[in-house]
Each structure stands twice: as structure tokens, then as C-alpha cells.
């Protein structure tokens, strides 16, 4: 989940099991910390990033340079989410 000042990273398995999550600063050192954190639990198949054209653009670039496969993740419709609680 990308924002102007921080990025929230969640690690999940291919089966949806949550391995961990953590918040990082949206700066160069934070991007490098994210790259290290992603491999903490083993090999990474792909990284889904919300907002690769805006807040997540630099993160996507840095992670791609580190050899990660990047996938754009569309943000869910906010109005629809709120209707479901």
C-alpha cells in the first residue's frame, strides 16, 4: 500500500497465508529496506504494488532494479468497500 510518506508491505504465500507486514519510509533507504524485507521469508514470486504510476513509481523502479517481478495492483473501489463495512 503506497502513500506519499510511507509504504506498507504485507507478505503472503501463494495460498494467502500472511507471513508478516511492516511499514517503511517512502525514501531511498526505505526502498532498500523493503527489498531486504521481501526476501526475509524465502524466494519471492512477484511483488504487487498499488500506484506504480504515482506514489509507488519509485518503489517499483528500485525493486525492479533488484530483480523483482513487479505487478500493478488496482486499488479497490472505495465506495464499494465502505458499503461492505
pLDDT tens-place string over residues 23-61: 999 999 999 999 999 999 899 999 999 888 888 999 999
Q: Would you say residue 23 lies in a domain?
A: yes
Q: Would you say residue 11 lies in a domain?
A: yes
Q: Would you say residue 34 lies in a domain?
A: yes
Rounded to two decimals, the pTM is 0.82
State what percent of residues in the chain have pLDDT above 70: 87
Q: Would you say residue 35 lies in a domain?
A: yes
Residue-range definition of the domain harbouring residue 61: 6-83
Instruction: Please tell me the total count of domains within the chain.
Output: 1
What's the Rg (C-alpha) of the chain?
Answer: 13
Q: Would you say residue 1 lies in a domain?
A: no
Q: Would you say residue 39 lies in a domain?
A: yes
CA distance 42 to 26: 24
Q: Would you say residue 45 lies in a domain?
A: yes
Question: CB of 71 within 8 A of CB of 64?
Answer: no
Strands 47-50 and 18-25: unpaired
Q: Would you say residue 59 lies in a domain?
A: yes
Amino acid at each position: 500500500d503506497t502513500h506519499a510518506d510511507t509504504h506498507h508491505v504485507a507478505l503472503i504465500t501463494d495460498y494467502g497465508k500472511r507471513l508478516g507486514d511492516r511499514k517503511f519510509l517512502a525514501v531511498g533507504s526505505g526502498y532498500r529496506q523493503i527489498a531486504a524485507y521481501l526476501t526475509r521469508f524465502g524466494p519471492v514470486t512477484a511483488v504487487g504494488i498499488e500506484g506504480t504510476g504515482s506514489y509507488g513509481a519509485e518503489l517499483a523502479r528500485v525493486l525492479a532494479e533488484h530483480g523483482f517481478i513487479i505487478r500493478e495492483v488496482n486499488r479497490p473501489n472505495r465506495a464499494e468497500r465502505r458499503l461492505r463495512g
